[in-house]
Structure 1
């Protein structure tokens, strides 16, 4: 592959990664955790102030909070704080908060368990899945192998660019220096990431996207 073609591919991946990083940053600032934390602050005001506060859950976020709390331990913890504080202040509950209380009191709500510290799979799930998508795209559309063989890293024959190099370079340009080539490769060979990614690609009609693990 010519250097010019490789440069074009790098620019394309740079753009995809930059868009992802910017969206991830926006979601971290205005996602469910942030909004629930804001809501906790508001309901802890005086009852009079709480009655007039504009709660995020009045609208499209009400249902989203409920389902997010059912899936993630940290959001569930915040959700419990919001609901219990509203009850203490005799503040009206929305439909989804009433449903939550009914399930908790009826024993139909299973408490979420915090993952052990050091297991970053859930925290980085979106990023890891995105990396796998890019690696598959580079392999299938541009014929660039996902990763290099460690045992051949000093070989001249293995000096060509791999997907892990291109994607890592793009993340570093976007300010995400923790996404090294080694981190990209670790994501590609991670069994848990593969399980979910394979399910996604299977629904798109791909039998086995991990036919080539190198």
Structure 2
């Protein structure tokens, strides 16, 4: 069984966890380097586009994935329909992704798309962000690159509200993975909230 998917998935090359791509690359290290470069370019582009008209809704979230990775993947910006898991952590079932995403972004809408949070305390801001981030991590809406796009989405939100991109350097990659596992397996965003809180720095 491969990393994130069933072995008969049409998204991946047979018997691998390497997603089919427009460059026909089958070397995971080379593919990761290209993904990292595209993400870096995406950060520059989306930060430059931030203004009062930016709405952090579902269309915007999807556009981050599509616009960042469409040069590499045909499925960029498309919600998955397959069930996915990692280890013993099971993400939202594929058939429910669209409906559950609508619910999450309705809650974001209820928070006025996180556009008026430059005046609340950092602790309260981190708590609100962690609740929604936990839901999106559990949703795992795309076939791949969920973590990177989710971090980009929340970085753009905090930048809009006068913070620097969230600084994760106080924690190891394993810490972040464990916090994400807590979100998925136990619906517990406590650790993720702490990571976000410690990484919020005013510009």
Question: TM bucket by the smaller chain?
Answer: under 0.3
Q: Give the TM-score of the pair, scaled to structure 1.
A: 0.24
**Which protein shows a greater Rg?**
1
> More helix by proportion, 1 or 2?
1
Q: Give the TM-score of the pair, scaled to structure 2.
A: 0.25
